[in-house]
Structure 1
Amino acid sequence: MIETVPDKPVLVAGASGFVGSHITRLLVERGRRVRVLLRASSNREALEGLPIEIVTGDVLDPASLHAAMEGCDTVFYSVVDPRFWLTDQTPIVRNNVEGLVNAMNAALACGVRRFVFTSSMGTLGIDPDRPVTEDVPFNWHDRAPPYIRARLEAETRFLACCRERGLPGIALCVANTYGPQDYQPTPHNGSLWRVASGQQKVAVDVAQPVVDIRDVAEAALAAEALGHIGERYIIAGDFVGARDFYAPAVARRGVPMPRFMSYRLAYAIAWVAERWARLLGRRDSLLTTDAIYLSNVFRALDNAKARRDLGWTPRPLRETIEDTVDWFAARERNLTMK
């Protein structure tokens, strides 16, 4: 177990995002001295009112990373470019891979004691017969879209840096995140709210591993104190089908359940939409076969390692869904009143 040093700051990179902002908020609640790295263009709404030190920079700018990490005890790295829909995937590789490499180099130069990396369940292998553990090797290279391959390369380099260069790092393989205080909102959370508010009338009948964003933040702090260097931990709660997932949300708001289409039908629609978009010269469509594929490729994940090593326990799924719906409803009311 690593003891925290109260007078030394910790750095959160990616603090304006969903995961990073929740890690930042939890660190502040725990009385930690928090520094965040933000781009000049970052939306800071999720951080408003927090007593934090802001350093303006970019993970693609090594000098700004070094300045942000100077004197820090721990780095919580939650920078991710999730835009899997981009036609030009160059930014995905630069932001998800090159940015992490720059951050690891800066962390080694600055002598940080822990580097907690928010990775993805997309780096895990697939096993249709049993819940997936961290030991299942990645086994779907032939079907993985560029976004997943970039996340895999990032995590592979991260673990190699821990093994070969002594980076004191721990990786968290995080499932689809839901929860309150999502100001963007993220695609998954946004879809949940659209269903709960009656705006989205149709959903795809698939299943997914999910986790509360607040539990992800708890896992990050637990990984700092208790995680084993060079290891990765699955941070996932329930594996739930769309019908069971949306039921508490629509009940909370008193709206009808959406109609459900099969995975095959959704994939066929996306296949046609992709080709139609190409004919019209359109780029960066959200409705792609890759998106539909990713909505259904993951199966149950085994979080036993995180429970054992980190003392981590996810909260009940209904609590996550109801808190999320309530937060979006309150936010919508506040925006309407302004």
Structure 2
Amino acid sequence: MSYSEDLTTLVTGGSGFVGSHIVRQLVAEGRKVRVMLRQSSKRDALKGLPVEIVFGDVLDPASLERAMEGCGTVFYSVVDPRFWLTDPAPIYRNNVDGLVNAMEVALKADVRRFIFTSTMGTLGINANGPVTEDIPFNWMERAPTYIRARLDAENRFLEFCRDRGLPGVALCIANTYGPDDYQPTPHNHALWQVASGKTPIGFDVGQPTVDIRDAAKAALLAEKFGRAGERYIIANEYVRNRAFYAMAAGYLGNKPPRIVPYKVGYGLALVIEGILKLLRRKDYIVSTDAMYLSDVFKELDSGKARRELNWHPRPLSHTVRDTISWFAAREGGSASISAEDALAA
């Protein structure tokens, strides 16, 4: 069953970074867009966009049924990213149970496409080269609760596609950077802090990256060309913090942070984590899990997305330039990128 651009398109999680960019691109294509939000969701990222907003919750199947009525495609971009929670129940409830509810309703509603925003965290580790979709998950013994929940969600998604005929495509998305980040997301805002000269120290870690606009474009291309039951790596350039932060700081003429070895950062996290546990604190962001996740993901091979989806991401330098320019206009007052820097990027 093929998708139809004439039917209403539903975006869940449309107020978030990925979801709102999917909405923007759908609107730019002239699509009829419905966005499902919680009553408490901020709507800054959707301001001025001609979309229908309905209120609901993925944990409430009845609200999902109302939201999907008459829809041809569902872009599912709901995620609870709070990896720091001590209690795992909300992480599983929001990331797994909510997705299952949405898939059940999507099957009843006979939607034609279901595009699931997954994560690179569900991919395996390859010590001998870039990671592909074919490498099975192989680091369960070290994966924290958040990663296990996202893996459970993706596995349930693939089961629905394989066993129950859900016309779904999963996107394993790398760390996203770019403009129009109204929340903002922690790592994207951290790049702005580095560019502004407000971050004296960084850790010697690396990450696969992707421009948020290219991630959203991949979702629309997956709707058109993605094979049901398949997952696609959506990642562009892998970069170490030393080069990444130097690039960011250079745009505004600031000194990049001093880079501290990974082992030093992990040791500090271990000490702080131990103290917080002795104090019986909960939900702390500084942890050995967070430090481990900051450097576990290596180079990802997006060849499958490039071949099958005709996906072509922009250079990382353009992403960094546009991210800093947007934050400068929003938060930095008179700070801006020079024309020479913009042309050089």
TM-score by length of 2: 0.95
Please give the residue correspondences for 1:138-287 in structure 2 after superposition, counting only pairs within 5 Å: 138-287=137-286
Aligned to 2:4: 4
Tell me how far apart the structure 2 counterparts of residues 2 and 222 of structure 1 sit (CA, whole Å). 13
Displacement after TM superposition at 1:152 (Å): 0.2
Which residue type is aligned with residue 276 of structure 1?
Answer: I
Contact 2:3 2:112 in 1 (8 A): no
Deviations 1:52-80 (A, max 9, x none): 00110000000000110010010000000
1:161 Cα deviation after fit: 0.2
Read off the aligned partner of 2:322 and give its amino acid letter.
D
For residues 77 and 334 of structure 2, what CA distance do their matches in structure 1 show? Answer: 28
1:329 maps to which residue? 328
Q: String of CA shifts for 1:7-40, please: whole Å, max 9, x gaps.
A: x110000001100000001100110000000000
Name the aligned partner's letter for residue 154 of structure 1.
Answer: A
Q: Indicate conservation of the 8 Å contact 1:176/1:211, yes or no.
A: yes
Any conservation in 2 of the 1:249–1:321 contact (CA below 8 Å)? yes
TM-score under structure 1 normalisation? 0.97
2:42 partner letter: N
Contact 2:328 / 2:334 at 8 angstroms: preserved in 1? no
What is the root-mean-square deviation in Å for CA atoms of aligned residues?
A: 1.3
Counterpart secondary structure, 2:298: coil
Q: Match of 1:193, SS? A: helix
Does the 8 A contact of 2:206 with 2:241 survive in 1?
yes
Structure 2 letter corresponding to 1:92: I
Measured in 1, the distance between the counterparts of 2:206 and 2:5 equals: 42
Q: Measure the CA separation in 2 of the matches of 1:5 and 1:92.
A: 33
Structure 2 letter corresponding to 1:81: D
Query: C-alpha distance in 1, partners of 2:51/2:120?
Result: 30
Q: Does residue 94 of structure 2 align to residue 112 of structure 1?
A: no
Q: 1:289 to 1:53 in 2, by over 3 A?
A: same
Equivalent pair of 1:2/1:226 in contact (CA under 8 Å): no
Q: Give per-residue Cα distances to partners, 1:144-175, cap 9 Å, x unaligned.
A: 00000000000000000000000000000000
- Correspondence for 1:94: 93
Separation in structure 2 between the aligned mates of residue 327 and residue 219 of structure 1, nearest angstrom? 22
Same amino acid, percent of matched pairs: 63
Counterpart-to-counterpart distance in 2, 1:144 and 1:335? 43
Q: What is the CA-CA distance between 1:199 and the residue it aligns to?
A: 1.2
**Unpaired segments of 5 or more residues in structure 2?**
336-345
Aligned length: 335
Secondary structure of 1:115's counterpart equals: strand
In 1: Cα distance, 2:3 partner to 2:137 partner: 34
Partner Cα distance (2:184, 2:166) in 1: 33
Counterpart CA distance in 1 for 2:131 and 2:224 is: 25
Code of the residue aligned with 2:5 in structure 1: it is V
Confirm or deny: 8 A CA contact 2:3 2:113 kept in the other structure.
no
Supply the distance in 2 between the matched residues of 1:272 and 1:48 (Cα, whole angstroms): 44
| Runs of 4+ with deviation above 3 angstroms | 333-336
Partner of 1:142: helix, strand, or coil?
coil
Distance 2:178 2:265 in 1: 26
d(CA) in 2 for partners of 1:334, 1:10: 37
Q: How many Å separate the matches in 1 of 2:80 and 2:199?
A: 25
TM-fit CA distance, 1:280: 2.2
Q: Secondary structure at the match of 2:102?
A: helix
Answering whether residue 293 of structure 2 is matched by residue 317 of structure 1, we say no
What's the secondary structure of 1:73's corresponding residue?
strand
Unmatched 5+ stretches in structure 1: none
Q: Is contact 2:3–2:73 with CA below 8 Å preserved after alignment?
A: no
What residue number does 2:341 align with?
Answer: none
Query: What CA distance in whole angstroms lies between the structure 2 residues aligned with 1:18 and 1:128?
Result: 31
Say which SS state the counterpart of residue 217 (structure 2) adopts: helix
AA partner of residue 326 (structure 1): S
8 A Cα contact 1:12 1:35, kept in partner = yes
Q: What letter matches 2:105 in structure 1?
A: A
Matched, 1:136 2:135: yes
Separation in 2, partners of 1:279, 1:32 = 54
Partner AA of 2:175 in structure 1:
N
The AA in structure 2 aligned to 1:124 is L
Could you tell me which amino acid in structure 1 is paired with residue 246 of structure 2?
A: A
